């Protein structure tokens, strides 16, 4: 078998356990697999970032969010699978910008595991959409590619308008004026728990914008599952 | 003097001239593109075609089923196959349309474009004449020139002749550094002729000029563009890229064009074909400075991998290194793989902290190589990737583990070819430390000896 990323041949059966349980063999060679850094250890309760042993249970970033009356509570939590190391940056560039869609297969198992552990079947899956222009340019939506990996169906309840590169506005201004999301066709959302799917959690503004729209339409709570915590 | 052609082509056709690109990459309104296709001044082709074996990428020629995948395509609304091999150039999927200009535009002629006043050695002059004739006759020719023969200058008379005819010349080479190194030399030799340099980081890529220097990947943009196609260091292409290069060349050259391959180490199949007269070749067995090639010495070094595991280098390898350090003579030490490179560097840094290791994926590769060139690094440990391109006047070279299968005849000849390049230091030590002699090692040594003999027979050696 050849590695999905480096194309070099490798032996995909890593352990007896794998053989006995008839697990799907890994699509990556051990070297490529090992270069991803999985987030493991003590996490910020809010954003799922890795914390120092002695640190408080919420990171400085999230404390700042919590001070915000309006936006602080828009998101119940974010959980991410990987750290944003140099390797991950390269892989994401190849996947998302070069458009090598099939790389998403490398994330299947850990992404599904994270979904089961932190969310589960009673959460409705909604991928963060791209604007029609961006979608045409890329040919696919990377968040939707991730959502397709999950064991439950996903729902395209959100749409996004095209916005130019983020301007020099303050965070406050961006939050108040630049929400690019709006509702698409959707059933009543009352009481629903919704997990947003996206590739990268950086500032948390994007998922909070999306969450806000869903909460205003009646959703009970909104969380996020992202591939990478930047 | 420059004699311009007369043409009345639309800006779109002029822009696209000599290129074949995905339709959405054209910086023109799609209506204009559609109209040009309608009138026949542009042609459109599918990006992928379905063959009996499966998909085939029209841009890069890939037909390996493992290098195709599919995705739910937002453009065509269906499950769309795409080529994973040429992704760096923008994704080609089954709904991509490739467009190119129907007819090549005529080009202007240059009178006496060459202003190079260097002198060719006897061996160079003879080869240069053969290349020039092959270009004028639009034939295929292999230039088999030893490392250090001065093969770039050999091309100048042929390129000058082509430019005088109003032809376009493309030179492709596997690596960006070679493109960057050649560009100023061509610029100086042909100061009045526009030169376009195509590599991943260049804005000129795709722009057609009378003279184009390109990496293999960027050559995939060209279509029926060149009257003269030169492929440099054809043996340096990684095995996996070879079929793509062949395809790119077949697409980039015009139907009636010459094809010149430059190589120091032709493959065994080519060597056989040349010997049987099935391929035309001109052989330059001597370096420009007229001194023979240094001949590699084989030295057994036992199970060096095991020694490395125990944190030690084989005795004789270690003392070879120490001698170089004492004499203050710079040296390359080649090892087969990255893991071994790391161990060897760690061990040697205990002796001299200035010693560094460089491999193909090392981000600081360029810096280290520069430090070596500047003489700040006494010994550079490296994997085969560096075997070409880097020339330093006065060095010795050793290979640790010359029996590894990564060290083919061609790689070993190239490694030996690093030594004695400069006229002031034409000699030097080439040492293959091994744990069991291989036929590749023997072939490499024989190859070098044969070249020296041939050079002597033809009276090309000065001593
Ligand atoms: Zn791999
Ligand atoms: Zn946090
Ligand atoms: Zn291709
Ligand atoms: Zn498509």
**Ligand 1 center from residue A30 Cα (angstroms):** 7
Q: Are residues B379 and B424 in the same domain?
A: yes
Q: A168 CB contacts (<8 Å, ≥6 apart)?
A: none
Tell me which residue range forms the domain holding A30: 1-35
Q: Would residue B462 count as lying in a domain?
A: no
Contact B84 A140 (CB under 8 A): no
CB-CB neighbors (< 8 A) of A2 in chain B = 66
Of B101, B126, B157, the domain-final residue: B101
Residue to substitute from B69, B79, B90, B359, interface A, most A β-carbons within 10 A: B69
The CATH number covering residue B378 comes to: 3.40.50.300
Question: Alpha-carbon torsion A62, A67, A68, A71, what sign?
Answer: positive
Q: Would residue B314 count as lying in a domain?
A: yes
Q: Are residues A21 and A68 in the same domain?
A: no
Q: Are residues B312 and B212 in the same domain?
A: no
For the stretch B207-232, pLDDT in tens is 889 999 998 889 999 999 999 999 98
Q: Residue B231 burial by CB count (10 A; 0-12/13-18/19+): exposed, middle or buried?
A: buried
In angstroms, the CA A58 to CA A66 distance is: 10
Q: Are residues B45 and B118 in the same domain?
A: no
Q: Are residues A26 and A86 in the same domain?
A: no
Q: Are residues A17 and A88 in the same domain?
A: no
Q: Are residues A69 and A24 in the same domain?
A: no
Q: Are residues B307 and B427 in the same domain?
A: yes
Q: Are residues A16 and A128 in the same domain?
A: no
Q: Would residue B463 count as lying in a domain?
A: no
Q: Are residues B236 and B261 in the same domain?
A: yes
Q: B114 CB contacts (<8 Å, ≥6 apart)?
A: B156, B157, B159, B160, B189, B190
Q: Are residues A137 and A154 in the same domain?
A: yes
Task: Quote the minimal CA–CA distance from B217 to chain A in Å.
Answer: 15
Tally A–B CB contacts below 8 A.
40
For the stretch A192-221, pLDDT in tens is 999 999 999 998 999 999 999 999 999 999
Task: Quote the minimal CA–CA distance from B81 to chain A in Å.
Answer: 10
pTM higher than 0.90 = no
* B183 CB neighbour count, 10 Å cutoff: 17
- Write b or e for each residue in B159-170: b if 16 or more Cβ atoms lie within 10 A of its Cβ, otherwise e: bbbbbeebbbbb
Instruction: State which residues of chain A have pLDDT below 50.
Output: none
How do the pLDDT tens digits run along chain B, 463 residues long?
566 555 567 889 888 989 999 998 899 999 999 999 999 999 999 999 999 989 999 999 999 999 999 999 999 999 999 999 999 889 999 999 999 998 877 778 999 999 998 889 888 999 999 999 999 999 999 999 998 898 899 999 999 999 999 999 999 988 787 888 899 999 999 999 999 999 888 888 878 899 999 988 899 999 999 999 999 877 766 554 578 888 999 999 999 999 999 998 888 888 999 999 999 999 999 999 999 999 999 999 999 999 999 999 999 999 999 999 999 999 999 999 988 999 999 999 999 999 999 887 777 877 888 888 889 999 999 986 655 556 788 999 999 999 999 999 988 998 999 999 988 999 999 999 999 999 999 999 999 999 999 999 999 988 6
Q: Are residues A81 and A114 in the same domain?
A: yes
Q: Are residues B85 and B133 in the same domain?
A: no
CB-CB neighbors (< 8 A) of B75 in chain A = 136, 139
Residues 234-273 of B with CB under 8 A from A: 240
Strands in B205-327 per DSSP E: 211-215, 226-231, 253-263, 281-284, 297-300
Q: Are residues A24 and A70 in the same domain?
A: no
In angstroms, the CA B343 to CA B304 distance is: 12
Q: B396 CB contacts (<8 Å, ≥6 apart)?
A: B324, B329, B330, B331, B332, B419, B428, B429, B430, B431
Flag whether the ipTM exceeds 0.90.
Answer: yes
B73 CB near a chain A CB, below 8 Å? yes
* A40 CB neighbour count, 10 Å cutoff: 8
Q: Are residues A207 and A151 in the same domain?
A: yes
Q: Are residues A86 and A199 in the same domain?
A: yes
Of B54, B70, B101, the domain-final residue: B101
Q: Would residue B28 count as lying in a domain?
A: yes
B235: nearest Cα among B282, B259, B269: B269
B49 CB near a chain A CB, below 8 Å? no
Q: Are residues A12 and A91 in the same domain?
A: no
CB-CB neighbors (< 8 A) of B66 in chain A = 2
- From B87, which residue of chain A is nearest by alpha-carbon distance? A98
Tell me which residue range forms the domain holding B21: 2-101
Of B49, B71, B101, the domain-final residue: B101
B192 CB near a chain A CB, below 8 Å? no
B381: nearest Cα among B419, B343, B335: B335
Q: Would residue B60 count as lying in a domain?
A: yes
Q: Are residues B265 and B118 in the same domain?
A: yes
Q: Would residue B290 count as lying in a domain?
A: no
User: Domain count of chain B?
Assistant: 3
Q: Are residues B90 and B135 in the same domain?
A: no
Q: Are residues B257 and B129 in the same domain?
A: yes
In angstroms, the CA A176 to CA B67 distance is: 46
User: Domain count of chain A?
Assistant: 2
Q: Are residues B165 and B238 in the same domain?
A: yes
Q: Are residues A168 and A195 in the same domain?
A: yes
Q: Are residues B85 and B144 in the same domain?
A: no
Q: Are residues B22 and B42 in the same domain?
A: yes
Contact A99 B91 (CB under 8 A): yes
């Amino acid at each position: 078998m050849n590695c999905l990323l480096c194309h070099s041949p490798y032996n995909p059966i890593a352990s007896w356990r794998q053989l006995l349980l008839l697990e799907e063999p890994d699509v990556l060679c051990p070297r490529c697999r090992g270069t991803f850094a999985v987030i493991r250890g003590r996490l910020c309760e809010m954003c799922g970032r890795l914390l120092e042993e002695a640190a408080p249970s919420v990171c400085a970033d999230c404390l700042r969010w919590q001070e915000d009356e309006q936006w602080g509570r828009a998101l119940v939590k974010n959980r991410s699978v990987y750290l944003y190391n140099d390797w991950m940056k390269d892989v994401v560039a190849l996947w998302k910008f070069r458009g090598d869609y099939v790389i998403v297969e490398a994330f299947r198992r850990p992404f599904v595991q994270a979904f089961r552990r932190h969310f589960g079947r009673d959460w409705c899956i909604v991928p963060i959409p791209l604007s029609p222009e961006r979608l045409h340019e890329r040919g696919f939506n990377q968040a939707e590619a991730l959502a397709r990996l999950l064991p439950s169906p996903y729902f395209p309840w959100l749409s996004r308008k095209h916005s130019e590169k983020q301007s020099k506005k303050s965070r406050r201004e961006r939050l108040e004026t630049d929400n690019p999301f709006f509702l698409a066709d959707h059933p009543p959302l009352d009481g629903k728990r919704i997990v947003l799917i996206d590739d990268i959690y950086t500032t948390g503004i994007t998922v909070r914008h999306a969450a806000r729209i869903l909460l205003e339409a009646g959703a009970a709570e909104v969380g996020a599952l992202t591939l990478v915590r930047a | 003097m420059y004699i311009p052609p007369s043409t009345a082509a639309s800006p779109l056709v002029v822009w696209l001239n000599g290129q074949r690109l995905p339709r959405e990459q054209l910086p023109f309104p799609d209506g204009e593109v559609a109209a040009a296709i309608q009138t026949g001044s542009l042609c459109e082709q599918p990006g992928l075609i379905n063959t009996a074996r499966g998909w085939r990428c029209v841009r890069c020629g890939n037909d390996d089923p493992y290098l195709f995948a599919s995705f739910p395509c937002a453009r065509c609304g269906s499950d769309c196959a795409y080529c994973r091999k040429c992704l760096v150039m923008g994704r080609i999927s089954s709904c991509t349309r490739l467009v190119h200009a129907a007819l090549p535009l005529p080009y202007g002629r240059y009178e006496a474009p060459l202003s190079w006043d260097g002198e060719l050695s006897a061996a160079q002059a003879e080869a240069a004449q053969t290349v020039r004739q092959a270009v004028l006759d639009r034939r295929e020719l292999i230039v088999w020139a030893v490392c250090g023969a001065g093969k770039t200058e050999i091309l100048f008379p042929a390129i000058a002749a082509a430019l005088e005819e109003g032809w376009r010349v493309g030179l492709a080479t596997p690596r960006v550094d070679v493109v960057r190194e050649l560009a100023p030399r061509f610029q100086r030799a042909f100061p009045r002729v526009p030169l376009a340099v195509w590599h991943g980081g260049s804005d000129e890529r795709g722009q057609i000029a009378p003279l184009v220097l390109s990496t293999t990947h960027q050559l995939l943009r060209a279509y029926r563009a060149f009257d003269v196609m030169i492929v440099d260091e054809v043996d340096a292409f990684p095995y996996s890229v070879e079929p793509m290069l062949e395809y790119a060349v077949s697409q980039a050259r015009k139907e009636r064009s010459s094809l010149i391959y430059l190589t120091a180490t032709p493959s065994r199949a080519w060597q056989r074909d040349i010997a049987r007269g099935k391929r035309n070749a001109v052989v330059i067995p001597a370096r420009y400075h007229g001194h023979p090639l240094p001949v590699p010495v084989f030295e057994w070094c036992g199970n060096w991998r095991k020694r490395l595991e125990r944190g030690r280098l084989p005795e004789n390898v270690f003392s070879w290194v120490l001698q170089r350090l004492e004499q203050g003579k710079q040296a390359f030490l080649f090892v087969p793989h990255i893991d071994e490179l790391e161990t060897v560097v760690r061990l040697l840094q205990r002796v001299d902290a200035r010693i560094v290791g460089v491999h193909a994926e090392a981000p600081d590769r360029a810096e280290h190589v520069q430090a070596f060139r500047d003489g700040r690094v006494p010994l550079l440990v490296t994997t085969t990737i560096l075997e070409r391109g880097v020339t330093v006047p006065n060095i010795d070279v050793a290979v640790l583990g010359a029996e590894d299968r990564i060290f083919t005849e061609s790689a070993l000849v190239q490694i030996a070819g690093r030594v004695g390049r400069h006229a002031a230091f034409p000699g030097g030590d080439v040492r293959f430390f091994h744990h069991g002699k291989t036929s590749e090692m023997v072939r490499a040594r024989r190859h070098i000896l044969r070249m020296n003999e041939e050079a002597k027979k033809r009276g090309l050696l000065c001593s």
